[in-house]
Each structure stands twice: as structure tokens, then as C-alpha cells.
């Protein structure tokens, strides 16, 4: 699955060379979900599964509580971007009490895509799951050619 790569700052399961002065790495490892699972439980990071078969890649994104109208999918320069913007406002009036609450949330995931037929990408959204199908480009057979050596 070399042709479809999610963009990420670092991968948590992959160890890198320990650098004594890698403060960012120390903090990132300390503040990850192993030590603070309740902090990451409701993270705004969209959970994504990527499948591959002979003909296509399929991205499955979990978007619970999101409506189809709040999702935007763009393909630009070999990059697929899934964006979600959710605005909620509650107005409630009882007797002399007025309550107004607002919330705004956004999530974005990007994937480097190559070897994909961009014109034939399609998406389906049902029950909080987004399915994006990315058909692979057909590989052309490499034709051999005899090269003559000149004097």
C-alpha cells in the first residue's frame, strides 16, 4: 500500500533513535494515549481505516454524530483531504430563564495519493461512516526497445 499514505507528525508505535535533547519526543511520548487515555477518548482526530485490493483503495472514516452536509472531500495535487465542520446552537426559553449554548468543532485528515484515477473517486456516507473509493490507475505494460550504440 505504498500509493496511499496518511499524513501524520509521528507514529506512536514506531521507535526512533533516542536523542538526549529530543524534548518534543519526550513530551509527545509522555502525553500520548497510553498515559492519558481519558484525554484522548473524545479526541477530535477522525478514525480512519484504509483497505486495498487489486482494483482500488477504500477509506472508511468514522464520523459519529456528523451529518453528510458537514463533510467536505477535496482532491488537489495528489492529496485527498477530508474536512468536517460542525456548528451547534441550542436556544431554550422557560419562564425567566434563557439558555444559549454554542459549540464548534472541526476535523481534517489528508492522504497522499498517487496512482489513483481522480475522476472516478466516489464517496458514500451512511450511519456515521464515510466510505471513499479510490480506483487505481491501470499500469501500462513497459515495452522493451533495443537501443543501438553509435560510434
Determine, yes or no, domain membership for 30. Answer: no
Whether 145 is in a domain gets the answer no
**Residue 56, in any domain of the structure:** yes
pLDDT in tens, the chain (151 residues): 446 666 554 444 444 555 566 666 665 555 554 555 444 444 457 899 999 999 999 999 999 889 999 999 999 888 999 999 988 877 777 777 677 778 888 889 999 888 899 999 999 999 999 999 999 988 776 778 888 898 8
DSSP letter at 120 equals G
32 neighbors 25 (Cβ within 8 angstroms) = no
- For residue 88, give the CATH number of its domain: 2.60.40.790
Short-list 61, 58, 79, CA closest to 71: 61
Domain hosting 90: range is 45-138
In a domain, 90, yes or no: yes
Q: What is the pLDDT of residue 1?
A: 44
**Residue 54 domain-assigned (yes or no):** yes
Q: Long-range contacts of range 76-79, CB-CB < 8 Å, 24 or more positions apart?
A: 78/112, 78/113, 78/114, 79/110, 79/111, 79/112, 79/113
pLDDT of residue 60: 96
pLDDT at site 114: 85
Q: What local confidence, expressed as pLDDT, does residue 138 receive?
A: 83
Neighbouring C-beta atoms of residue 82, cutoff 10 Å: 21
Residue 68 domain flag: yes
Determine the pLDDT at residue 14: 46
* Domain contains 23: no
How many domains does one find in the chain?
1
DSSP character for 78? T
What pLDDT, on a 0 to 100 scale, did the predictor assign at position 22?
A: 67
13 part of a folded domain: no
Amino acid at each position: 500500500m505504498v500509493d496511499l499514505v496518511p499524513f501524520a507528525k509521528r507514529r506512536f508505535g514506531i521507535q526512533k533513535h533516542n536523542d538526549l535533547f529530543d524534548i518534543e519526543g519526550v513530551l509527545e511520548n509522555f502525553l500520548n494515549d497510553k498515559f492519558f487515555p481519558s484525554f484522548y477518548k473524545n479526541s477530535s482526530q477522525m478514525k480512519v481505516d484504509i483497505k486495498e485490493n487489486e482494483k482500488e483503495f477504500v477509506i472508511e472514516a468514522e464520523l459519529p454524530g456528523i451529518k453528510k452536509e458537514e463533510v467536505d472531500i477535496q482532491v488537489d495535487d495528489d492529496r485527498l483531504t477530508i474536512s468536517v465542520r460542525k456548528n451547534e446552537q441550542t436556544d431554550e426559553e422557560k419562564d425567566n430563564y434563557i439558555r444559549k449554548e454554542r459549540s464548534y468543532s472541526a476535523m481534517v485528515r489528508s492522504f497522499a495519493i498517487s496512482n489513483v484515477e481522480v475522476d472516478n473517486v466516489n464517496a458514500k456516507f451512511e450511519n456515521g461512516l464515510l466510505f471513499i473509493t479510490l480506483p487505481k490507475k491501470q499500469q501500462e505494460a513497459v515495452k522493451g526497445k533495443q537501443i543501438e550504440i553509435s560510434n
